[in-house]
């Protein structure tokens, strides 16, 4: 079980149990109050009833003597239903007319401790609890003033009942909470099982399975959105990973041929005694080959760094017209050898960019154009602007690039005619990829069109200051996708 | 001129020493940072070539230590890694130049010479001369053996450049970057063609050839002794 899932389960069960406990507690409190209230009401009713009977009885008693003789009758009234009752009747002058009941209670009633208080009173003494009601009652004795009557009965049993009841309720709450906690925990665990399954599935995805998406059939609906997004991400990773693998093997192939050539040349040269001149020639030829390799390696490193956003283009104001002019002046020298002319036209406002990179991007286009233009023709370089972009286009008359190749020419190591490699000085197929990389870093684009015996490459720079990609640390990739080391490791350099 | 090379890779260190020695410099080599620093602080050198990736000793720390005590000593950094952070870090810590491996020895030599030339008073001259070839920078006239030679503006700039660096073998990439401000390694043969045309005007009609091609290294303008 994963850590995250445990805490989720625990959270849910805990919250569930806590809510149950709270609910049970509130209900219990309400119920207890209701029960207590009920008892009080009942007691009051009873006492009032008894008081009424006493009132009527006393009203009938015509003399103090008669009152004293009422004892058995009052005894019956007061103790009906309440064996441990007490009653005291005290005349207005303070003379005790009648008392009945437990001495302790009677003493308390006579003490006047409850004088002045109205309503149902409760008194406890020596582990017993009593309800008391007192009132002034008119006597039947003519000319007498109202006497104070107090009646009480023992409610200790009732109170014990309530206490037991309350205790039971607390125990019930405790047990209920534990029970719901346990049941809840089991239920939540079972409920979250699909999540656990999905995590297991995700954890098992490794670079060898990037092309197998997670099946969404067994996944609960709520999580399907997540799985879809995950599968899309897998597809993208798979794509990048494949391209990376292909690129790596392509690079190895590219390096193989020149290295083999050098080995062959050197071996042949060493196979027999030769004069210094021959060795010199051999060494020079190897040197050229090595230079070529070195350039290729630099280009590839450039592309790798660009991919991983490890290159920070410097931002200067660039006048494209003058940059192009410098390039044209340079390439003209080689162009004129084949009677190819370079024509420059157009003006444009300044842009922001890295001068060296832009020079490189444009020079790739120009040297390509030069390579493919036949004798006596002209290459046209136009600097233009529109609302959004400032563009430089290089147009050369020459063999067309067919529409099937056109979208792929900016791919690395892609060559239209694969067999042309040997004849050219450096025709590794990285030039256009580098141009594309540079344009992307500047927030721009490079496009190609070919037809009617002409081919045109156009680079576009955005006029508004582009958000140029800043240097980002390589492990920024891992931070964004913290899935598992096996996947993140595939894309890190 | 004495140069100290601090480089742990055996072949690189050996061939660097040899190449620089043959170019006319006195050289000392150290294969690890500790020895290198010790030598740098106890002996006097005109330039240090330092490989940043040294075992045991942090090349950057070495550079800082060097800078602390020897403020004037030019340092050329070599590294097999090329990241922007490295370059900026190197220059901030006080390196004077920075080259990535694999490098062109001719290029390294040219840069070593350039670093050594810094600080020396840049002589402002009116004329440059090599044997009977004269280049007047004020009037923009070129003559050889008294005969006037017409050059285009760029050809003049090219000739001026190689004359100022007389006797130095100049690699193509350096010529491209200094004369045309083209800072990429081009696969076209522009420099070859340009030099051929210059030679056609400067050397063809004369017995003594001043411009020579050192195959694999570059071009040199030199009055023969």
The DSSP line for A59-97 is: HH--SHHHHHTTHHHHHHHHHTT-TT-EEEEE-TTS-EE
> In the predicted model, is pLDDT for residue A482 greater than 60?
no
Give the pLDDT score at B119.
60
- Domain assignment present for residue B122? The answer is no
Q: Based on the fold, state whether residues B73 and B139 are members of the same structural domain.
A: no
Residue whose tokens read 């260190």: B13
- Domain assignment present for residue B190? The answer is yes
> In the predicted model, is pLDDT for residue A422 greater than 60?
no
Q: Which residues on chain A are in Cβ contact (under 8 Å) with B216?
A: 283-284, 287-288
pLDDT in tens, A281-332: 889 888 888 888 888 888 888 888 887 777 777 788 888 898 999 999 999 9
Q: Based on the fold, state whether residues B13 and B111 are members of the same structural domain.
A: yes
C-alpha A266: how far from its chain's center?
61
> In the predicted model, is pLDDT for residue A265 greater than 60?
yes
User: How many other β-carbons are positioned within 10 Å of the β-carbon of residue A358?
Assistant: 26
For A120-154, b where at least 16 C-beta lie within 10 A, e where not — what string? ebeeeeeebebbbbbbebebbbeebeebbbbbbbb
Query: What ipTM describes this predicted complex?
Result: 0.75
> In the predicted model, is pLDDT for residue A1 greater than 70?
no
C-alpha separations of B115 from B16, B47, B160, B218 in Å: 17, 8, 20, 19
Max mean pLDDT among A188-197, A451-460, B86-95 falls in: A451-460
Q: Based on the fold, state whether residues B112 and B133 are members of the same structural domain.
A: no
The answer to whether the beta carbons of residues B79 and B9 sit under 8 Å apart is no
Query: Nearest CA to CA, how far is B68 from chain A (Å)?
Result: 29
Closest chain B residue by Cα to residue A283: B216
Confidence class of residue A428 from pLDDT cuts 50, 70 and 90? Answer: low
Cβ pair B100:A298 closer than 8 A:
yes
Give the pLDDT score at A88.
85
Mutation target vs B (from A258, A304, A330; most B CBs, 10 A cutoff): A330
Give the pLDDT score at A470.
42
> In the predicted model, is pLDDT for residue A471 greater than 60?
no
Q: Which residues on chain A are in Cβ contact (under 8 Å) with B180?
A: 326, 329-330
- Domain assignment present for residue B141? The answer is yes
Closest chain A residue by Cα to residue B190: A334
Q: Based on the fold, state whether residues B62 and B137 are members of the same structural domain.
A: no
Q: Based on the fold, state whether residues B94 and B182 are members of the same structural domain.
A: no
Angle formed at CA A363 by CA A357 and CA A364, multiple of 5 degrees: 95
* CATH number of the domain that residue B167 is part of: 1.10.10.10
Angle formed at CA A358 by CA A355 and CA A361, multiple of 5 degrees: 150
Task: Tell me whether A288 touches chain B (CB under 8 Å).
Answer: yes
Angle formed at CA B72 by CA B71 and CA B73, multiple of 5 degrees: 100
Angle formed at CA B137 by CA B133 and CA B141, multiple of 5 degrees: 55
Structure tokens at A431: 């030039």
Give the pLDDT score at A247.
76
> In the predicted model, is pLDDT for residue B42 greater than 80?
yes
Partner A, chain B 131-170, Cβ-Cβ below 8 Å:
154
Q: Which of A134-143, A204-213, A293-302, B139-148 has the lowest mean pLDDT?
A: A204-213
Give the pLDDT score at A358.
93
User: Which strand (E) or helix (H) includes residue A394?
Assistant: strand A389-397
Can you list the domains of chain A with their CATH numbers? 3-165 (3.30.450), 207-311 (1.10.287), 316-470 (3.30.565.10)
Query: Nearest CA to CA, how far is B81 from chain A (Å)?
Result: 10
Q: Based on the fold, state whether residues B146 and B191 are members of the same structural domain.
A: yes
Q: Based on the fold, state whether residues B35 and B68 are members of the same structural domain.
A: yes
Q: Based on the fold, state whether residues B89 and B186 are members of the same structural domain.
A: no
Give the pLDDT score at A67.
80
pLDDT in tens, B175-205: 998 898 888 877 678 999 999 999 999 999 8
pLDDT in tens, B120-172: 655 667 888 888 999 998 888 999 988 999 999 899 999 999 998 888 899 99
> In the predicted model, is pLDDT for residue A476 greater than 60?
no
Cβ pair B187:A291 closer than 8 A:
no
Higher pLDDT, A416 or B174: B174
Higher pLDDT, B83 or A178: A178
Task: Tell me whether A286 touches chain B (CB under 8 Å).
Answer: no
Query: Nearest CA to CA, how far is B84 from chain A (Å)?
Result: 6
Domain stops at, among B72, B99, B117 = B117
Q: Which residues on chain B are in Cβ contact (under 8 Å) with A279?
A: none
The DSSP line for A311-376 is: -----EEE-HHHHHHHHHHHHHHHHHHTT-EEEEE-----EEE-HHHHHHHHHHHHHHHHHHPPTT
Cβ pair A310:B104 closer than 8 A:
no
pLDDT in tens, A5-32: 567 778 888 888 888 888 888 988 898 8
Domain stops at, among B64, B95, B117 = B117
The DSSP line for B128-160 is: EEETTEEEETTTTEEEETTEEE---HHHHHHHH
Give the pLDDT score at A484.
32
**Nearest-CB residue to B102 (from A294, A359, A370):** A294
Question: Which domain range does residue B199 map to?
Answer: 127-221
- Domain assignment present for residue B86? The answer is yes
Number of domains in chain B: 2
Q: Based on the fold, state whether residues B170 and B88 are members of the same structural domain.
A: no
> What mean pLDDT comes out for the span A53-67?
83
Q: Which of A78-82, A140-144, A416-420, A475-479 has the lowest mean pLDDT?
A: A475-479
Which residues touch A120 (CB under 8 Å, ≥6 apart)? A40, A43, A44, A47, A131, A132, A133
Biggest distance spanned by C-alpha atoms of chain A: 164
> What mean pLDDT comes out for the span A78-94?
82
- Domain assignment present for residue B87? The answer is yes
Q: Based on the fold, state whether residues B64 and B86 are members of the same structural domain.
A: yes
Cβ pair B183:A356 closer than 8 A:
yes
Cβ pair B180:A305 closer than 8 A:
no
Higher pLDDT, A474 or B191: B191
- Domain assignment present for residue B167? The answer is yes
Query: Nearest CA to CA, how far is B160 from chain A (Å)?
Result: 17
Residue whose tokens read 């420059």: A344
Percentage of chain B exceeding pLDDT 70: 94
> In the predicted model, is pLDDT for residue B118 greater than 80?
no
Tell me if the bond preceding B102 is cis, omega within 30° of 0.
yes
Q: Based on the fold, state whether residues B92 and B144 are members of the same structural domain.
A: no
Cβ pair B188:A367 closer than 8 A:
yes
- Strand, coil or helix: what is A294? helix
The answer to whether the beta carbons of residues A19 and A173 sit under 8 Å apart is no
Domain stops at, among B60, B94, B117 = B117
pLDDT in tens, B57-113: 788 888 888 888 877 788 999 877 665 566 777 777 888 888 888 888 888 998 998
Cβ pair B188:A331 closer than 8 A:
yes
Task: Tell me whether B129 touches chain A (CB under 8 Å).
Answer: no
CA distance A217 to B25: 76
Give the pLDDT score at A366.
93
> What mean pLDDT comes out for the span B17-44?
89
> What mean pLDDT comes out for the span A436-453?
91
Higher pLDDT, A379 or A5: A379
> What mean pLDDT comes out for the span B19-42?
89
Closest chain A residue by Cα to residue B81: A301
- Domain assignment present for residue B23? The answer is yes
Mutation target vs B (from A276, A333, A342; most B CBs, 10 A cutoff): A333
Higher pLDDT, A267 or A62: A267
Closest chain A residue by Cα to residue B187: A426
Task: Tell me whether A425 touches chain B (CB under 8 Å).
Answer: yes
Give the pLDDT score at A6.
60
- Domain assignment present for residue B103? The answer is yes
* CATH number of the domain that residue B74 is part of: 3.40.50.2300
Q: Based on the fold, state whether residues B109 and B170 are members of the same structural domain.
A: no
Q: Which residues on chain B are in Cβ contact (under 8 Å) with A471?
A: 84-85
Q: Which of A102-116, A122-136, B34-48 has the lowest mean pLDDT?
A: A102-116
Characterise A332 by phi-psi region: left (phi > 0), alpha (psi -120 to 50), beta (else): alpha
Cβ pair B102:A301 closer than 8 A:
no
């Amino acid at each position: 079980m994963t850590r995250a899932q445990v805490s989720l389960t625990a959270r849910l069960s805990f919250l569930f149990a806590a809510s149950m406990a709270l609910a049970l507690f509130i209900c219990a409190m309400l119920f207890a109050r209701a029960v207590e209230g009920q008892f009080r009401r009942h007691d009051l009713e009873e006492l009032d009833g008894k008081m009424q009977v006493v009132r009527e009885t006393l009203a009938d008693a015509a003399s103090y003597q008669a009152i004293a003789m009422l004892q058995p009758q009052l005894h019956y009234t007061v103790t009906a239903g309440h064996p441990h009752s007490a009653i005291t009747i005290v005349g207005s002058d303070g003379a005790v007319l009648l008392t009945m009941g437990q001495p302790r209670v009677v003493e308390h009633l006579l003490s006047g401790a409850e004088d002045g208080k109205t309503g149902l009173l409760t008194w406890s003494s020596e582990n017993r609890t009593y309800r008391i009601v007192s009132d002034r009652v008119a006597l039947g004795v003519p000319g007498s003033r109202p006497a104070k009557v107090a009646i009480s009965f023992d409610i200790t049993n009732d109170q014990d009942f309530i206490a037991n009841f309350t205790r039971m309720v607390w125990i019930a709450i405790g047990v209920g909470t534990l029970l719901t906690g346990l049941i809840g925990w089991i239920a939540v665990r079972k409920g979250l099982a699909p999540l656990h399954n999905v995590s297991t599935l995700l954890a098992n995805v490794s670079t060898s399975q990037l092309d197998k998406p997670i099946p969404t059939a067994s996944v609960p609906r709520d999580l399907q959105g997540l799985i879809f997004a995950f599968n899309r991400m897998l597809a993208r990773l798979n794509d990048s990973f494949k391209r990376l693998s292909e690129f790596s093997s392509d690079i190895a192939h590219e390096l193989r041929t020149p290295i083999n050539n050098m080995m062959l040349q050197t071996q042949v040269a060493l196979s027999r005694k030769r004069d210094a001149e021959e060795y010199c020639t051999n060494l020079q030829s190897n040197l050229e080959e090595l230079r070529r390799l070195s350039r290729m390696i630099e280009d590839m490193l450039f592309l790798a760094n660009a991919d991983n956003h490890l290159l920070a283009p410097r931002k200067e104001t660039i006048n494209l017209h003058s940059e192009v002019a410098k390039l044209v002046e340079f390439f003209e020298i080689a162009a004129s050898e084949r009677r190819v002319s370079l024509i420059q036209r157009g003006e444009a406002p300044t842009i922001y960019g890295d001068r060296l990179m832009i020079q490189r991007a444009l020079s790739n286009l120009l040297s390509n154009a030069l390579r493919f233009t036949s004798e006596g023709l002209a290459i046209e370089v136009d600097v233009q602007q529109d609302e959004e972009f400032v563009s430089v286009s290089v147009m050369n008359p020459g063999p067309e690039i067919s529409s099937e190749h056109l979208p792929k020419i900016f791919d690395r190591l892609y060559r239209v005619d694969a067999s042309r490699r040997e004849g050219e000085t450096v025709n590794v197929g990285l030039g256009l990829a580098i141009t594309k990389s540079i344009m992307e870093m500047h927030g721009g684009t490079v496009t190609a069109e070919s037809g009617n015996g002409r081919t045109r490459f156009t680079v576009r720079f955005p006029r508004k200051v582009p958000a140029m990609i800043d240097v980002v640390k390589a492990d920024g990739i891992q931070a964004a996708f913290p899935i598992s080391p096996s996947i993140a490791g595939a894309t890190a350099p | 001129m004495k140069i100290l090379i601090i480089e742990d890779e055996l072949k690189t260190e050996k061939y660097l020493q040899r190449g620089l020695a043959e170019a006319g410099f006195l050289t000392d080599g150290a294969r690890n940072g500790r020895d290198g620093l010790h030598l740098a602080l106890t002996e006097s050198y005109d330039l240090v070539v330092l490989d940043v990736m040294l075992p045991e000793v942090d090349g950057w720390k070495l550079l800082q230590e060097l800078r602390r005590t020897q403020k004037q000593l030019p340092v050329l950094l070599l590294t097999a890694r090329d990241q922007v952070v490295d370059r900026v870090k190197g220059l901030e810590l006080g390196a004077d130049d920075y080259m990535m491996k694999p490098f062109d020895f001719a290029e390294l030599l040219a840069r070593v010479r350039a670093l050594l030339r810094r600080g020396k008073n840049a002589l402002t001259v009116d004329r440059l001369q090599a044997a009977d070839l004269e280049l007047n920078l004020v009037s923009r006239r070129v003559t050889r053996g008294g005969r006037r030679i017409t050059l285009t503006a760029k050809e003049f700039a090219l000739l001026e450049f190689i004359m100022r660096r007389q006797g130095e073998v100049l690699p193509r990439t350096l010529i491209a970057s200094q004369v045309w401000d083209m800072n990429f390694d081009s696969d076209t043969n522009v420099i070859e063609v340009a030099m051929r045309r210059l030679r056609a005007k400067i050397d063809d009609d004369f017995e003594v050839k001043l411009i020579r091609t050192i195959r694999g290294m570059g071009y040199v303008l030199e009055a023969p002794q």
